[in-house]
Homo-oligomer: A and B are copies of this chain.
Amino acid sequence: MNKLLIVGTVAFDAIETPFGKTDKILGGAATYIGLSAANFKNVDSAIVSVIGDDFPQEYLDMLAAKSIDLSGLETVKGGKTFFWSGKYHNDMNTRDTLETQLNVLENFNPIVPEGYKDADVVMLGNLHPLVQLGVIEQMTKKPKLVVLDTMNFWMDCALKELKQVIAKVDVITINDEEARQLSGEYSLVKAARVISEMGPKYVVIKKGEHGALIFDKENVFFAPALPLEEVFDPTGAGDTFAGGFSGFIASTGDVSFDNMKKAIVHGSNLASFCVEKFGTERMENLSREEVSNRLLQFKALTQFEIELN
């Protein structure tokens, strides 16, 4: 078994989309990453995060039933769990944050469980860069792959610390607008090159409904998003992608570019389920057969034979 260490928020979300709205439901980057990575064989996963004692036991039971190690999930007595609420616009590609309550995240000091200090793959979900850095520093053995997910918020308010983390990771996953902001380049080809010079060997640029690109110095590969009848709720799609990506790498233990290609296909495949229902609902109830069948749809969507003349 290979080990996957997941760092990120475990949270409450309240979501409004053109299709409806929810009260406080289960959310958080580490939650989505964990649920997504749980679809791969041969991987032991653990989440490092923090919650308040307002967090329902049933959510913990559900995550534990997915064989996710929660010994690194700290519960702050009398504390309140991180809460985010947002409203999506009609195009589903943009959203407004209505409310953010950091709560227990404000003083979060991550502690990596002893058994995961030698994890094969570390997936740093979106969090303050210093928390992400704190996790890397606790590893006693150099991981095969460290993957960083981040967002524009940290570029705006903690760029120096973010660049410190970027320098220490193998893969960065960000969206197209963030890649442009971070690099100062509009062309994604140029943006990837600039970001790669900051440290990461592989740069993954997520374009939401338009798919995802992965670059290394010589190569580029693209996986589309599956065209769907309806997107109900994009929340967690990026984290689900990251969980599929890192879960597949952990499952195979292969960090070649060729395997990265497969990893972004798996990430896109799993993300295509996430958006079909509100919150984590679809990811909580996903069969191996559904995942395999949709991979076949991905192949049909993208694979062709062509003769050169």
- Our pick among B262, B304, B309 for the contact of A306 (Cβ within 8 Å) is B262
What is the chain B residue whose CB lies nearest that of A224? B222
B301 A221 Cβ-Cβ under 8 A:
yes
The answer, yes or no, to whether A96 is at the interface (CB within 8 Å) is no
The answer, yes or no, to whether A157 is at the interface (CB within 8 Å) is no
Please measure, in the bound complex, the distance between the C-alpha atom of A186 and the C-alpha atom of B188, giving whole angstroms: 26
A73 to chain B, nearest CB (A): 28
**Would you list which residues of chain A between 58 and 105 have a CB under 8 Å from chain B?**
90-91
A300 B186 Cβ-Cβ under 8 A:
no
**Would you list which residues of chain A between 184 and 212 have a CB under 8 Å from chain B?**
186-190, 207, 210-211
Please measure, in the bound complex, the distance between the C-alpha atom of A186 and the C-alpha atom of B228, giving whole angstroms: 11
Copies of this chain, complex-wide, total: 2
The answer, yes or no, to whether A156 is at the interface (CB within 8 Å) is no
The answer, yes or no, to whether A256 is at the interface (CB within 8 Å) is no
A220 proximity list for chain B (CB < 8 A): 227, 300-301
Across chains A and B, which 3 residue pairs bring their CB atoms closest together, nearest first? A210-B210, A292-B308, A222-B224
A188 B227 Cβ-Cβ under 8 A:
yes
- Our pick among B91, B187, B303 for the contact of A229 (Cβ within 8 Å) is B187
Also in contact, A90 and B186, with CB within 8 A (given A221-B301, A224-B224, A301-B220): yes
- Our pick among B229, B262, B299 for the contact of A190 (Cβ within 8 Å) is B229
The answer, yes or no, to whether A213 is at the interface (CB within 8 Å) is yes
- Our pick among B213, B231, B261 for the contact of A304 (Cβ within 8 Å) is B261
Offer 21 A-B interface pairs, CB within 8 angstroms, sorted by A.
A187-B228, A187-B229, A187-B230, A189-B227, A189-B228, A190-B229, A190-B230, A210-B210, A219-B300, A221-B301, A221-B304, A222-B224, A262-B304, A262-B306, A265-B306, A295-B306, A295-B308, A298-B306, A302-B302, A302-B304, A303-B304
